[in-house]
Amino acid sequence: MTEQEVIELIDSSLAEEFELERAEMTPEANIYEDLGLDSLDTVDMVIVLEGAFKFKIREEESVRAIRTLGDIHQFVLTKVAENS
């Protein structure tokens, strides 16, 4: 998977599962303030990402540190690289 494909899979999965507007999903968008997620959604986000990429997310600290969509991209890209 290229970096672009990974980012596209993240964005399309999140858009569908959280009913987000693709136009608002810029890397700078704060997932809580701009995209309207809350702390309860975080677990669902982890599940969506695990399902889309078939990896296990154990890095609780890193997940908690996520603020922007770009942070999610970075987090997943790192994991995909580790797993390949």
Partner 1 sequence: MLNNSSYDVAVIGAGVSGLSCALILARHGKKVVVLEQHPRLAPVLRGFKRNGMFFDSGFHYVGGLGDDGPLWPLLRYLGLDIGLELTPFNPDGFDCLHNCTTGQRLCLPVGFENIRMQLSARFPGAAKDIKEYLDDIERCWRSVPYLDLDLDLNEVVNASVHGLTVAQALARFAPWPELQGLLSMHGLLYGIEPSQALASLNAQVAGSYYHSAHGIRGGGGAVVQTYVERLAAAGVEVRCGAEVTQILSEAGTVSGVCLSDGAEIQASEVIASMNPALLPEMLPAGAVRPAYLKRLQGLRQTASAYVLFAACTNPVEVLQGCNLFSQQGTGVFDSCLDQNVEERPLFLAAATPQHLHAGVGDSEDGESKIRHGVIGIVPAAHSEVAPFWSGPHQRKHGYESKKKEIGAAICNRIRTCCPELESLEQVDLSTPLTLQDYSMAPAGAIYGVGRFAGQYNPQAVTRLPGLYLSGQAIAAPGLLGALVGAYMTCGSMLGHDLLRGELRKWR
Q: Residue numbers of the site for partner 1 (CB under 8 A)?
A: 16-19, 38, 40-41, 43-48, 56-58, 60
Q: How far is the CB of 51 from partner 1 (least distance, A)?
A: 9
Q: How far is the CB of 62 from partner 1 (least distance, A)?
A: 13
Bridge partners of residue 33, in order along the sequence: none
Between 3 and 56, whose beta carbon lies closer to partner 1?
A: 56
How many C-beta atoms surround the C-beta of residue 35 within 10 A?
19
Between 43 and 81, whose beta carbon lies closer to partner 1?
A: 43
Show Cβ contacts of residue 84 under 8 Å, excluding neighbours closer than 6 positions.
none
Closest by CA position to 37, among listed 18, 50, 24, 21: 18
Between 19 and 21, whose beta carbon lies closer to partner 1?
A: 19
